[in-house]
Structure 1
């Protein structure tokens, strides 16, 4: 048996502790905020990449991307931002 699995605590071995609905909602809200922040960060990166490819295409090589990779990333922008 793997030692790391044997030493890990399991939910079944813990006594049941009630979780209040407010705590669950707070965790879900925190997760949702994190997901939205990640989406915004990716959108901002793709928008900046689009601007860079128009204004300074020579910088694309400097950051280590190919033209095809840039086009693929730009294609992931929402249609109203393309």
Structure 2
């Protein structure tokens, strides 16, 4: 039985990391979308083409 606890803990940590990653992706994509509305010239400044930008903000949060 003692070997099960670290495995369960690891699984919980993995789940927490996945949720944190998804949350960060959602936040970054939302910020990009806002940036395109407020300061569209900044999209060029960060090195994205219009097509790259559109592809990035269209991705669901679970996609890298």
Superposition TM-score, scaled by structure 1 size:
0.68
- Which structure has the greater CA radius of gyration? 1
Gap runs ≥5 in structure 1: 1-17
Which residue among 49, 57, 63 is the counterpart of 1:74? 57
Alpha-carbon RMSD: 1.6
**2:10 and 2:53 mapped to 1: Cα distance?**
35
- 1:35 maps to 18
Where relative contact order (Cα < 8 A, 6+ residues apart) is larger, the structure is: 2
1:48 to 31, 37, 51: 31
The alignment of Structure 1 onto Structure 2 pairs a total of residues equal to 61
Secondary structure at 2:21 match in 1: helix
**TM-score normalised according to structure 2 size:** 0.86
